Amino acid sequence: MEKWFANRRKSKVLDMAYRQMTLAIDTVTDLRKAITAASKNKVDEAKSCVDRLFVVEREIDDLRRAVFEELTRGSLPSKDREDIMHLVKRLDVMADFVKDSARTLLILMQAEIPKEMWNLYVEVAKDLVECASALWKSIEKLETDLTEAKVLSEKVDYIESKVDEKYLKMKELLLKHSREIDPAALLMLRDLIEDLEEIADSCDDTADYVRILTVTRETS
């Protein structure tokens, strides 16, 4: 009976952890939809995406707390608990930057933004979805194919470098359009690209940890 309860608790914490990680990555897709809608001046659609994102983000916070509470009960080996905790923490940080980006986007929809800049934000958002998707697949592969998990984590590195290039391009556009954009809006545009770049960095940081796990599991 004691073993049965231990297995049930193990399954429970893993289910919660995977749901938290899945939702964290899903928020990136909602952010892309919001940015795409905003770029087309579809304000209601963009706000709807952001509202949904905020609801999901609250569930992510609740799941994170629940996962940590379950982990303290010791139903998993200490190494597994540590791995889950690190992954959950890293993806929670990413979700926070997604939320910050969405808040900034809501404000920016009240300003006149050059189409050239909106187009670049849309491109960055698409890269972030690709980056987050590769990261999630690499995490899933940790249980079945360590080689593939490592390959996918390296793909995250590559996509993150593409975001870095667009980040620099956006800084150039901020300078190019600085005379025609309201100074407050200019600051918001800078904040948005920096938060988007932080999302990519968070993905890359998590991918680095996935690579560490592939090495430790191969040698264990």
188's tokens: 């918001």
Instruction: Quote the Cα angle for 94-100-187, to 5°.
Output: 125
151's tokens: 């390959």
Rounded to two decimals, the pTM is 0.91
Query: HSE (CB half, 13 Å, CA atoms) of 57?
Result: 23
Domain ranges of the chain: 2-219
Q: How do the pLDDT tens digits run along the chain, 220 residues long? A: 334 334 445 567 878 888 888 899 899 999 999 999 999 999 999 999 999 999 999 999 999 998 888 888 766 777 878 888 888 899 999 999 999 999 999 999 999 999 999 999 999 999 999 999 999 999 989 888 999 999 999 999 999 999 999 999 999 999 999 999 999 999 999 999 999 999 999 999 999 999 998 887 766 5
| Domain 2-219 listed as CATH 1.20.58.220 | yes
Phi-psi region of 33 (alpha: psi -120 to 50; beta: other; left: phi over 0): alpha
Cα separation, 55 vs 50, in Å, equals 9
Cα separation, 177 vs 196, in Å, equals 20
Cα separation, 220 vs 217, in Å, equals 5
